[in-house]
Amino acid sequence: MVRQISPWKVLTRRKNLQADGSEGETKLNRVLGLWDLTALGVGSTLGAGVYVLAGQIAKDQAGPSVMISFAIAALASLLAGVCYAEFGARVPKAGSAYVYSYVCIGEFVAFVIGWNLILEYVIGTASVCRGISLYLDSLLNDTLKNTFAEVAPMNVSFLGSYFDFLAFGLVVVFGVALAFGVETSTMANNFVTCLNIFILGFVIIAGAIKADYSNWTVDPSTVSANSTIGSGGFFPFGFEGTLRGAATCFFGFVGFDCIATTGEEVRNPRKNIPKSILLSLLIIFLCYFGVSTVLTLMLPYYIQDVNAPLPYAFEYVGWPVAMWIVTVGGLVGLLASLFGALFPLPRVMYSMAQDGLLFKFLGKVSPRFRVPVTGSIVAALFTAAIAGLFDLSQLVSLLSIGTLLAYSVVAISIMLLRYMDYCEVDENPGQREVRASETTSLTSSSERFTFGSVCTQLFNVHRVQEPNAISSRIVGVLSTLFCLIALGIGVLIMQAHTLIASKEVWALTLLIVLVVLMFLVIFLICLQPREARRRLFRVPFVPIVPAISIFINIYLMLQLDTWTWIRFGVWMIVGLSIYFFYGLPNSYREMKRQRAGWQKLKYSDRL
């Protein structure tokens, strides 16, 4: 008789990994060290944004307090970073958040995350290439634009006005370079990233020389400006403006997660991945903090140029040479960002193809170069077509959804991993069966799901020290409840913030009730037993740190506009079609093959 498996169990089946202290076998080439990873994370994040973002936020949202906005954003990014760091040490596999969610939550969620990571990296790469093309074109007086519009005009409403051959060619060249040698292309990225940091260091030092502290104490009554300048001083738009600026600054730290996709190409990944994530976030924060500080000291916030603030600032203080150095720095930053955006894309596709969720040919590894050559070339050609065809101004917001979803799922996975015994990634199926058989007699009587047993475990009356089936299920339900409450608070703040500010009774009461429920959920999770095993790196203060990260990510996702969610829905329809018609049956066969391998290994051990 064939045992029937419920659809829920099919969609939530989890990936088994062997993590016995070694990094495990891999078809990829382990050539990346600590500084390679750090350069990858820094280069991916410090693109053109560091040359533009500070001026935009200072003028429109935060004023001189933009430096505090970056500090708050850095702290919020650090919460996500430490979650990635623990998983990087614990599950050193290619695939980043896709693999982490496959291990802890289940296959369906993993596919959704992986599919959106592909979207994130495709749009990210295409937008950077389009940005490089526009950046060069601005220096050449629109020569490229006029030439392309004459040679290859496109009169389709949802496409660009012309085919961008430069953007197309850049993706192809970088994609081919990555496909035929990670080591050489990484050396080039290290050089470009170091050059970018050197230029930013020059900006900070030169800007400090021209600093005028009176620009932090501007009196609106003594100046005339064409734009709104608020109340002047260090917080011209209030602390509320500083917080709004922090929400925008948060996206300036997006990109470090590409480090987590390199797990199978890193030497000693259990140490180097966590270190490189934290080190890259520190370097990124120092660059943003330093640039935003000197920028608002060089000239008043209300006359900042939102398109090219740094070149304008040096022109304003009479240093034209520095202006051209900064202009070159913007191009260098874009090139480093291009490498960081394109590098992880074939790695995510490779990992999903290895699990049977995407087409198998995307997971083929070149025996000579030990990289997923086919996946790299396919990814480059697809991304190049997007870069050449589309005007990406309406698609860039899709970057945010993929990133924030991945951040949220990684934080949830950390919470589940710490409290759930069945999420243990350090055992293969054979070991898990042995442990289960040894503890069956102890758990069968104490882990029956009754109302009394659940209530007793909810408050952990018997002070249970190790996770069991009931405590694991409780944490799963409470984590889901926390996400729903966070969603409710976010919607309430967005839709009724004026009523809350005016102390409307019903709005305040509802907000207080939701906040109290949120703290109660966190308290109940804290009561549950957690795994006691020490790791190379662990997220501190679980569940508080991942809970804060989840709340921030959900709130930021709610800020996205309706059209962004519609485009996201279209992308998901395409992805789910692939999953249900191809990925679902193929992943089952792949899991069956892997488990057969474990059973064979277990049988040979007995012999």
Burial 373-387 (b: 16+ CB within 10 A, else e): bbbbbbbbebbbbbb
Q: Which of 506, 532, 558 is the last residue of a domain?
A: 532
CB atoms within 10 A of CB 52: 19
The total of structural domains in the chain comes to 2
In a shared domain, residues 312 and 174 = yes
- Cis bond before residue 543 (omega within 30° of 0): yes
Q: What is the DSSP letter of 392?
A: G
Arithmetic mean of pLDDT over the chain: 84
Distance CA 316, CA 326 (A): 14
Distance CA 599, CA 434 (A): 12
In a shared domain, residues 528 and 465 = yes
49 membership: H or E segment, kind and range: helix 49-57
CB atoms within 10 A of CB 509: 10
Tell me if 14 is assigned to some domain: no
365 contacts 372 by C-beta, under 8 angstroms: yes
Q: Which of 497, 532, 567 is the last residue of a domain?
A: 532
**Region 175-185 average pLDDT:** 81
In a shared domain, residues 329 and 455 = no
Hey, which of 417-421, 476-480, 566-570, 600-604 has the most confident mean pLDDT?
476-480
Q: Which two tokens stand for residue 532?
A: 């006691």
Distance CA 195, CA 332 (A): 7
Distance CA 66, CA 462 (A): 50
Q: How far is CA 544 from CA 274, 439, 471, 540, in A?
A: 20, 31, 18, 9
Tell me if 250 is assigned to some domain: yes
Tell me if 588 is assigned to some domain: no
Tell me if 569 is assigned to some domain: no
Distance CA 538, CA 99 (A): 18
In a shared domain, residues 454 and 406 = no
Residue 153 predicted with pLDDT over 90: no
Distance CA 129, CA 8 (A): 42
Positive or negative CA dihedral for 463, 468, 469, 475?
A: positive
Tell me if 427 is assigned to some domain: no
Closest among 457, 450, 452, 451 to 474, alpha carbons compared: 457
Q: Which two tokens stand for residue 217?
A: 């104490």
In a shared domain, residues 125 and 164 = yes
The position carrying tokens 């390199």 is 262
CB atoms within 10 A of CB 266: 26
In a shared domain, residues 382 and 480 = no
**Region 574-592 average pLDDT:** 83
Distance CA 370, CA 435 (A): 36
Q: Which two tokens stand for residue 500?
A: 């809350």
Positive or negative CA dihedral for 530, 531, 534, 540?
A: negative
CATH number at residue 171: 1.20.1740.10
In a shared domain, residues 460 and 400 = no
HSE of 534, CA atoms in CB hemisphere, 13 A: 1
The position carrying tokens 């697809």 is 382
Q: What SS3 state is found at 228? A: coil
Contacts (Cβ under 8 Å, ≥6 apart) of 532: 465, 466
Closest among 302, 493, 390, 360 to 126, alpha carbons compared: 390
Closest among 196, 285, 250, 267 to 37, alpha carbons compared: 267
Q: Which two tokens stand for residue 244?
A: 């709004």
In a shared domain, residues 186 and 239 = yes
Q: Supply the pLDDT for residue 447.
A: 55
355 contacts 77 by C-beta, under 8 angstroms: no
Q: How far apart are the first and last CA of the chain?
A: 30
Question: Model confidence over 316-375: pLDDT tens digits?
Answer: 999 988 888 888 888 888 888 888 888 999 999 999 998 989 998 898 888 887 888 888
Q: Sorting pLDDT into bands at 50, 70 and 90, what band is 436?
A: very low
Closest among 175, 152, 176 to 162, alpha carbons compared: 152
Q: What is the dihedral of CA 497, 501, 507, 508, to 10 degrees?
A: 130
In a shared domain, residues 71 and 155 = yes
Phi then psi dihedrals of residue 194, to 5 deg? -60, -40
Distance CA 370, CA 566 (A): 39
Domain that holds residue 148: 29-220+228-418
The single-letter code of the amino acid at 346 is: P
Question: Model confidence over 250-298: pLDDT tens digits?
Answer: 888 988 989 999 888 898 998 999 999 999 999 999 999 999 999 999 9
Q: What is the dihedral of CA 364, 368, 371, 372, to 10 degrees?
A: -20
Write out the DSSP string of 243-295.
Answer: HHHHHHHHGGGTTGGGGGGGGGGBSSHHHHHHHHHHHHHHHHHHHHHHHHHHH
Q: Supply the pLDDT for residue 280.
A: 96
Residue 246 predicted with pLDDT over 60: yes
In a shared domain, residues 263 and 309 = yes
In a shared domain, residues 54 and 192 = yes
User: What pairs with residue 32 in β-bridges?
Assistant: 266
Distance CA 150, CA 390 (A): 17
Question: Model confidence over 401-434: pLDDT tens digits?
Answer: 888 888 999 999 999 888 876 544 444 444 444 3
In a shared domain, residues 235 and 279 = yes
Tell me if 177 is assigned to some domain: yes
Closest among 5, 127, 74, 15 to 398, alpha carbons compared: 127
Q: Which two tokens stand for residue 595?
A: 């488990």
Question: Model confidence over 91-104: pLDDT tens digits?
Answer: 888 888 899 899 88
Q: What is the dihedral of CA 43, 365, 375, 181, to 10 degrees?
A: 40
The position carrying tokens 């021209």 is 210
Tell me if 178 is assigned to some domain: yes
Give 560 or 422, the one with higher predicted confidence. Answer: 560
Tell me if 363 is assigned to some domain: yes
Q: Sorting pLDDT into bands at 50, 70 and 90, what band is 227?
A: low
Question: Model confidence over 190-224: pLDDT tens digits?
Answer: 999 999 999 999 999 999 999 999 999 988 877 77
CB atoms within 10 A of CB 416: 21
Q: Which of 508, 532, 556 is the last residue of a domain?
A: 532
